[in-house]
Amino acid sequence: MALICGMALLLMSARALADTCPPSPFTAKNGLSFKTYCQHDMPLGGDSGCQTQNGCDLQLVSGITSLQDCMEACSKNSLQRCYGVSFNAAQKQCYLKGILSDPSYLSTSNDWDSAIADFSQLSQPSDISCPSDKQLKAGSGMPFTVQCNTDFGTSGQYCSSNEGPCTYHANSLQECVEHCATSRPLCKGVSYNPDMQLGFPNCYLMKSPDTSNATTPTGYTVHSAKMSDDVLRQLDTSVPTSLNYTASGGTIFNLTQNDARSGANNFTSLHADSIGQCADNCASNKNQTCNGVLFDNIIDNGYSNCYLLSDTGSTKPGANMTFAQLTKNTVKPTESAQSISNAPPTSKAWIAGPVVAIVVVIVAIAAFFIWRRRRQDRIAQRSSSYGKYLMDSGEEPMESDGVSPFTPVGLKCACEVNVYAPQEMPGYITPKSRR
């Protein structure tokens, strides 16, 4: 019994340890990886004579409730690069550690758990120069104008509503603008710190970059990029007065202004300059059924402002949003004509078959009556001769068995011939209704 209780206590302790100290590797939301050291402390504080500026304790963060959150705080530190952490669960204390973080400094402790970041991710890249191209374009097509050695500052920064961190890491200015292009609400610029002197989160998103107060940094490197003015200039917010739109290919959409939809399901989003361009993308989509679109007229919710909907939901008031409901698919006349001309020849057999059959039957009937008339004439002539022969010879007439001696072999006398209704030609099948 004691053995069972002991094993239960060990399992409970192991579970509690797993809850407070996750296994390695642990990756923070912005990509920084850590190796965890459970029940170990990394005392790089004042007791060991280490000073903060020399890379020991960088900062004490209070109110942290788990080692996971402590590592997240390290990955997001924007004062300087954080290389490790030590966390005390009972006291809810999280110490961010500097560059001296190393397994050789670890000591066994029942009260502390520690973690050390992947140093290779925190190494300064060899190339921190500004791109020679003054224009960058994200994968979504969003264009940016590059401003080298320029820091937009912090006044225009914002936290994206996308799932993930508010502070991004990037390995290039191109990668940084990709974060901006996919963020919601609309991100209009970035400042990028390639040497990571300000920490691992080196890509700062801007909702309203303050270019008038931009500065040239000293002691660290920052390059910035701003959304091209052409993006807003090219937007066409007009809507046809008829409130309908015919897309290329003949697909018809009914339009509703200031309708943000409720319960709609968009399976993808992309950028469009007008409601017509947005609807065209829906009409030409081949990957999934598109039943309508939602168009953000002023791209306030992000650069990808055209939402292709599989489920269109219900009406919901929403300023600067235009909804287009797919109502009808039509076929272009040229395609219709082509499909008819390409129809297989057998498609007209249902007309040709009966006509040929009727003609053949009529000819057969006519031939039969002509043959019958001629045959009766011949019989009459021969009967007259035969009767004359009998009278001349004096023989008794033969009893008729119903078969004339002058009837060709295998053919009954005309008096026994039954005229049947015309029969269908061999191989002919009565056509079914085409409806």
DSSP string, 226-291: EE-THHHHT------TTSEEE-TTS-EEEEEEEE--BS-EEEEEE--SSHHHHHHHHHT--SS---
Q: Is 224 part of a structural domain of the chain?
A: yes
Residue 398 per-residue DSSP state:
P
Does the pLDDT value for residue 374 go beyond 80?
A: no
Does the pLDDT value for residue 195 go beyond 50?
A: yes
pLDDT band at 49, cuts 50/70/90? low
Calculate the CA 404 to chain-centre distance: 87
Does the pLDDT value for residue 409 go beyond 60?
A: no
What percentage of the chain exceeds 90 in pLDDT?
A: 57
Mean pLDDT of 294-321: 96
Last residue of a domain, one of 277, 301, 333: 333
Q: Which amino acid is at 294?
A: L
Together in a domain, 228 and 152: yes
Q: How many domains does the chain have?
A: 3
Q: For residue 8, what pLDDT is reported?
A: 46
Does the pLDDT value for residue 302 go beyond 90?
A: yes
pLDDT band at 12, cuts 50/70/90? very low
Lowest mean pLDDT among 1-10, 307-316, 367-376, 378-387: 378-387
Does the pLDDT value for residue 388 go beyond 90?
A: no
Together in a domain, 104 and 56: yes
- Quickly count: other Cβ atoms within 10 Å of residue 235's Cβ: 16
Lowest mean pLDDT among 28-32, 65-69, 113-117, 407-411: 407-411
Q: Is 412 part of a structural domain of the chain?
A: no
Together in a domain, 319 and 263: yes
The length of the chain, given as a count of residues: 435
Q: For residue 45, what pLDDT is reported?
A: 62
Together in a domain, 265 and 303: yes
Structure tokens at 59: 């900062």
Q: Tell me if 425 sits within 8 A of 357, measured CB to CB.
A: yes
The radius of gyration of the chain's CA atoms, rounded to the nearest angstrom, is 46
Q: Is 397 part of a structural domain of the chain?
A: no
Rounded Cα gap, residues 116 and 89, in angstroms: 17
Together in a domain, 145 and 198: yes
Rounded Cα gap, residues 297 and 376, in angstroms: 94
What percentage of the chain exceeds 70 in pLDDT?
A: 68
pLDDT band at 377, cuts 50/70/90? low
Residue of higher predicted confidence among 348 and 94: 94
Rounded Cα gap, residues 120 and 25, in angstroms: 14
Q: Give φ, ψ of 110 to 5 degrees.
A: -80, -15
Q: For residue 52, what pLDDT is reported?
A: 54
Q: Is 402 part of a structural domain of the chain?
A: no
Does the pLDDT value for residue 359 go beyond 80?
A: no
Mean pLDDT of 39-44: 91
Nearest to 252 by CA among 289, 228, 212, 279: 279
Together in a domain, 64 and 85: yes
Q: For residue 235, what pLDDT is reported?
A: 96
Does the pLDDT value for residue 320 go beyond 80?
A: yes
Together in a domain, 81 and 155: no
Together in a domain, 107 and 183: no
Last residue of a domain, one of 233, 258, 291: 233
CATH number where 196 lies:
3.50.4.10
Residue of higher predicted confidence among 155 and 187: 187
pLDDT band at 160, cuts 50/70/90? confident
Together in a domain, 114 and 146: no
Together in a domain, 304 and 273: yes
SS3 assignment, position 282: helix
Residue whose tokens read 């992947």:
118
Q: Print burial letters for 41-57: b (CB count within 10 Å at least 16), e (below 16).
A: bbbbbeeeebeeeebbb
SS3 assignment, position 123: coil
Q: Across all residues in the chain, what is the average pLDDT?
A: 78
Q: For residue 211, what pLDDT is reported?
A: 86
Q: For residue 55, what pLDDT is reported?
A: 64
Does the pLDDT value for residue 410 go beyond 60?
A: no
Does the pLDDT value for residue 226 go beyond 80?
A: yes
Rounded Cα gap, residues 435 and 248, in angstroms: 30
Together in a domain, 147 and 87: no
Rounded Cα gap, residues 69 and 77, in angstroms: 12
Q: Is 316 part of a structural domain of the chain?
A: yes
Does the pLDDT value for residue 88 go beyond 90?
A: yes
Q: Is 76 part of a structural domain of the chain?
A: yes
Mean pLDDT of 358-369: 57
Q: For residue 126, what pLDDT is reported?
A: 85
Lowest mean pLDDT among 85-89, 294-298, 381-385, 411-415: 411-415
Q: For residue 369, what pLDDT is reported?
A: 56
Last residue of a domain, one of 312, 333, 354: 333
Rounded Cα gap, residues 313 and 302, in angstroms: 21
pLDDT band at 212, cuts 50/70/90? confident
Give the 3-state secondary structure percentages of the chain, helix then strand then coil, rounded to 5. Answer: 30, 25, 50
Does the pLDDT value for residue 173 go beyond 60?
A: yes
Q: Tell me if 229 sits within 8 A of 274, measured CB to CB.
A: no
Domain that holds residue 249: 244-333
Mean pLDDT of 24-49: 87
Q: Is 252 part of a structural domain of the chain?
A: yes
Mean pLDDT of 83-89: 96
Mean pLDDT of 342-368: 48
Together in a domain, 264 and 315: yes
Q: Is 104 part of a structural domain of the chain?
A: yes
Residue 398, judged by CB atoms within 10 A of its CB (0-12, 13-18, 19+), counts as exposed
Does the pLDDT value for residue 417 go beyond 90?
A: no
